[in-house]
Amino acid sequence: MNSSFNKFLIFKKWIIIMMICIFSTNFLYIPSVNALSDSKQFVLDAWTLVNEGYYDPELLEEIQWKRIRQKTLQKQIETSDEAYSAIEDMLKPLEDPFTRILRPKDYELIKTSNFGSEINGVGLQLGEDEITKKIKVISTLAGSPAEEAGIISGDLIDKVDGISSSELGLANTASKLRGDSGTKVLVQIISTSDEIKEIDLERRSVDLRPVRTKRLRDDSHTIGYLRITQFSESVPKKIEEALQELKDKEVEGIILDLRNNSGGLVSSGIAVADYFISEQPIVETKDRNGIKDAMISQKNTFFDGPMVTLVNKGTASASEILAGSLQDNERSTLMGKQTYGKGLIQSLKSLGEESGIAITVASYLTPKGNNIQGKGITPDKILDLPEAREYGNSEDKWVKNAEIYLNSLFDKGEVKESHYEIESKDINT
């Protein structure tokens, strides 16, 4: 009996010891979460924003997103640079180059390009090839050092100042290309013809001029040329003003030029689509909660005459939303080459006062349900012609082809008389 009683006491003792260990561990763990350092709290804030907003929660489960948080917070994170690096490592398993941390300089540049009129840099808009994972040029900004150096959409960025872009990744490659006006950066390019060349680019202020317009006239017809270089916050208002200007010049049709427009604010792209399409679907989005109702345009349009829209492989994101809506609703003929194929939408979130994080929050479908991610949009008419160095000038063969096409419609009488429905209260004078 004593033997049994002693065994019971030993068993009871071990139970008590185990309980003490468990509660001690929990007791020690709680303060480590509730009293995180500022740097670790910064990382946790980034993790939370992705956890709550990322468009594919199943992927978060698949990569064990909660476990990644735990492992990341166990690292030594005491400085801002360590926090940024920890977040970059944390995001890598997503394999989504568009979901990324934006350090202060990058965050400020994105805000400037979305809301301002100029940026400092070389004028390259970059993306990541889905298959090779190499950094490639989506488009070059008009009048930028990159455009003047002959860099074109589809070229690969191999090295920046001697450092491999594969080592840097998309965000850091873009960051190294930016800098103060007057400074230089050495870029090694692999061209679309596999030629390797080094280019010394001097950074400078680049005038974005998101909306450009002019009148094209011949002996019998007047056509408006309207170019959108990117979708910043100011674009919808500028488009209203441009359409009013073209109305005053009594244009019969419009050539909308979206070449090398790599996107910008999706809301601006949708607003512009609304100016040309009456009571038709513009886009359908799919977020973490499933398919939403299609976004329908308003009844009144700013222009309902004939249109041709020019696109190329530098046409991406918000500009593809606009092009897809015009094509699927048979509102405009698309001419040019296959577009880039970026069908994901990012939301820009602030992390503190100086930095931010871009998070993929939705994918989108064209009105007919086409998912263009990695595929792009095929134009109605392919143009196998060299592109002009300066879009819209007298030597631009693509614009000339669009002009000839519109004139043929006018001459055949295949278009109805165009009219504008612009309320005076909507026109800024």
Same domain for 266 and 370? yes
Q: Which residues of 201-225 are buried (b: 16+ CB within 10 A; e: fewer)?
A: bebbebebebbbbeebeeeebebbb
**How many other β-carbons are positioned within 10 Å of the β-carbon of residue 6?**
10
Same domain for 262 and 304? yes
Sign of CA dihedral 385, 391, 392, 394: negative
User: Domain end: 95, 130, 164, which one?
Assistant: 95
Residue 9 included in any domain: no
Residue 16 included in any domain: no
Same domain for 357 and 342? yes
Same domain for 173 and 280? no
CATH number of domain containing 186: 2.30.42.10
CA proximity to 123, closest of 152, 160, 100, 163: 152
The answer to whether 352 and 328 are in contact (CB under 8 A) is no
Tell me which residue range forms the domain holding 340.
211-426
**How many other β-carbons are positioned within 10 Å of the β-carbon of residue 330?**
9
Cα 209–215–218 angle (5° rounding)? 150
Global pTM? 0.77
Same domain for 301 and 422? yes
CA proximity to 321, closest of 303, 348, 343: 343
CA 170, distance to chain mean position in Å, is: 13
Same domain for 292 and 374? yes
Alpha helix (H) residue ranges in 277-396: 318-328
Same domain for 91 and 142? no
- 241 Cβ contact partners less than 8 Å away, ≥ 6 residues apart: 427, 428
The answer to whether 103 and 84 are in contact (CB under 8 A) is yes
Residue 104 included in any domain: no
Residue 26 included in any domain: no
Tally the domains of the chain.
3
Residue 29 included in any domain: no
Q: What DSSP designation does 252 have?
A: S
User: Domain end: 206, 228, 249, which one?
Assistant: 206
Residue 10 included in any domain: no
The answer to whether 324 and 377 are in contact (CB under 8 A) is yes
Residue 272 included in any domain: yes
Residues 226 and 402: their CA atoms lie apart, in Å, by 12
Residue 350 included in any domain: yes
Question: What amino acid is encoded at 398 in this protein?
Answer: W
Same domain for 288 and 340? yes
Burial of 12 (0-12, 13-18, 19+ CB in 10 A): exposed
pLDDT tens for each residue of the chain, 429 residues long: 455 545 444 544 555 544 444 444 343 343 344 567 889 999 999 999 999 999 999 999 999 999 999 999 999 999 999 999 999 999 999 999 889 999 988 888 777 666 555 566 898 888 877 677 788 888 787 778 998 898 988 899 999 999 998 888 877 888 888 888 899 999 999 988 889 999 999 998 876 678 999 999 877 889 999 999 889 888 999 999 999 999 999 999 999 999 989 888 999 999 999 999 999 999 999 889 887 778 999 989 999 999 999 999 889 999 999 999 999 999 999 999 999 999 999 999 999 778 999 999 999 999 999 999 989 999 999 999 988 878 888 889 999 999 999 999 888 765 544 333 322 222 222
Residues 83 and 89: their CA atoms lie apart, in Å, by 10
CATH number of domain containing 262: 3.90.226.10
Q: Which sequence positions are flagged as catalytic?
A: 317, 328, 342
